Amino acid sequence: MNNDCLGKSDLKSSRLIYGCMRIAGDQSSSDIDKGKQAVYSAIDVGYTHFDHADIYGGGGSEQLFGQLLQQSPHLRDNMVITSKASIRPKNDENAHAPTRYDFSKEYLLSSVEGSLGRLKIEQLDLFLLHRPDYLFDIHEVAETFTQLKVSGKVAHFGVSNFKPSQVAMLQSVLDLPLLVNQVEINIHNIDALNDGTLDQCQQHKISPIAWCPLGGVAYPAWGNTFSAADEQRIAIELSEQAQRYNCQPWQVILAWLLKHPAGIFPIVGSTNPERIIAAKHSLNLDYSREDWYRLLEARNGQTVP
Ligand SMILES: NC(=O)c1ccc[n+]([C@@H]2O[C@H](COP(=O)([O-])OP(=O)(O)OC[C@H]3O[C@@H](n4cnc5c(N)ncnc54)[C@H](OP(=O)(O)O)[C@@H]3O)[C@@H](O)[C@H]2O)c1
């Protein structure tokens, strides 16, 4: 699979990242086996970058991945492991704690320890702040990142779901470059195209990573606002394009993301080996500017002005 450097670093990642959010399923032994097969399929077909978060499967996704690495330690070679922290579920400390975001030093350090323990590794290649904490103290985060870097527990840093102003604010007090901004980008949610996120990525060589790339096509996107008519119009356009490119409609969506010059890395979250493997085909489509705009037009229900 194509490999590209993340941000300004020389850390190489497969252009398609494998997302581990769903790999532990309902934690039953059959879902765990399915999740392991999914990860093995991803490794076999050339994904080298695996996306985690402390909260995926309540820690179960990292745990499953750690078991797999323990069984086959050589898999860690040439692999990029990302994890994220900041979302704290309600009642995690006491019965009255609400769901909240937490960028405090104490919490982030303990979360990284937890991820390393579950993944059974010594260092995260990339650590991301999962969602911006409203009570975000940039100086405290900078200190935390420095401590994690000096201790060797994290090699590189990035953010997720940050607005361009928040990226700029944090970067202004950091000596280390933020390598990525992981945001939702799919046919339903195109905020990153309009709110300056992809502009900032391109200008400052920050790699945009797209979560839920198939939202709005394979399943309803978060906060779905598509009407039945919208869905039908998009499905017709996708089906015509899929015929033209001799591929499946959902592979067209990945090509649509890959076309953007900011260099989007889509995260594939399927646990179906056939789909994990087939996603790779999107990298070979010679997707045209005209089709890119046709799909945007189908999404918007109108031509661009
Ligand atoms: N930073 C953040 O805030 C954030 C938020 C959410 C997710 N993420 C990351 O992004 C990754 C990807 O997200 P995602 O899992 O939502 O990605 P996705 O690849 O957009 O969606 C995967 C889901 O779509 C289904 N699917 C895929 N192709 C399909 C098809 N052709 N027909 C029907 N269903 C299909 C999959 O089912 P099957 O398994 O049956 O194929 C799976 O349930 C996650 O694993 C996680 O690492 C990050």
Q: What pairs with residue 210 in β-bridges?
A: 183, 266
Lowest average pLDDT, out of 9-13, 171-175, 215-219, 226-230, goes to 215-219
User: Can you tell me the mean pLDDT for 207-221?
Assistant: 95
- Residue 254: pLDDT band (50, 70, 90) is very high
- Residue 260: pLDDT band (50, 70, 90) is very high
Query: What's the pLDDT at 189?
Result: 97
Query: What's the pLDDT at 245?
Result: 98
Q: Confirm or reject: Cβ of 41 under 6 Å from ligand 1.
A: no
DSSP annotation of 9 reads S
SS3 at position 8: coil
Q: What pTM was estimated for this model as a whole?
A: 0.97
Give the separation between CA 299 and CA 305, rounded to whole angstroms. Answer: 14
Q: Confirm or reject: Cβ of 19 under 6 Å from ligand 1.
A: yes
Is the separation of the CB atoms in 288 and 240 below 8 Å?
no
Q: Which helix (H) or strand (E) holds 33?
A: helix 29-45
| CA-nearest residue, atom 11 of ligand 1 | 19
Distance 272 CA to ligand 1 centre (A): 10
| Nearest Cα to Cα of residue 157 among 203, 170, 277, 68 | 170
Distance 83 CA to ligand 1 centre (A): 17
| CA-nearest residue, atom 5 of ligand 1 | 211
Query: What's the pLDDT at 1?
Result: 81
Of these residues, 56, 101, 107, 245, which one is catalytic? 56
The token pair at 269 is 């979250």
Is the separation of the CB atoms in 268 and 16 below 8 Å?
yes
Atom of ligand 1 nearest to the CA of 271: 39
Distance 221 CA to ligand 1 centre (A): 10
Q: Confirm or reject: Cβ of 222 under 6 Å from ligand 1.
A: no
Q: Confirm or reject: Cβ of 111 under 6 Å from ligand 1.
A: no
Question: What does the pLDDT look like over 149-171, one tens digit per residue?
Answer: 999 999 999 999 999 999 999 99
Reply yes or no on whether 56 is catalytic: yes
Q: Confirm or reject: Cβ of 18 under 6 Å from ligand 1.
A: no
Query: What's the pLDDT at 98?
Result: 94
DSSP symbols for 115-178:
HHHHHT-S-EEEEEE-S--TT--HHHHHHHHHHHHHTTSEEEEEEES--HHHHHHHHTT-SSPE
Q: What pairs with residue 111 in β-bridges?
A: none
Distance 212 CA to ligand 1 centre (A): 5
- Residue 302: pLDDT band (50, 70, 90) is very high
Q: Is the dihedral of CA 188, 238, 232, 250 positive or negative?
A: negative
Give the separation between CA 118 and CA 36, rounded to whole angstroms. Answer: 15
Atom of ligand 1 nearest to the CA of 131: 3
Tell me the average pLDDT of the chain. Answer: 97
Distance 253 CA to ligand 1 centre (A): 13
Question: What does the pLDDT look like over 84-133, one tens digit per residue?
Answer: 999 999 988 888 999 999 999 999 999 999 999 999 999 999 999 999 99
Q: Confirm or reject: Cβ of 220 under 6 Å from ligand 1.
A: no
| Nearest Cα to Cα of residue 22 among 229, 272, 255 | 272
Is the separation of the CB atoms in 242 and 217 below 8 Å?
no
Query: What's the pLDDT at 94?
Result: 81
Q: Which helix (H) or strand (E) holds 235?
A: helix 228-245
Domains of the chain and any CATH numbers: 3-226+260-285 (3.20.20.100)
**Torsions phi, psi of 246, nearest 5?**
55, 50
Give the separation between CA 79 and CA 268, rounded to whole angstroms. Answer: 16
Query: What's the pLDDT at 92?
Result: 85
- Residue 57: pLDDT band (50, 70, 90) is very high
Query: What's the pLDDT at 95?
Result: 86
Q: Confirm or reject: Cβ of 270 under 6 Å from ligand 1.
A: yes
Atom of ligand 1 nearest to the CA of 272: 41
Q: Confirm or reject: Cβ of 269 under 6 Å from ligand 1.
A: yes
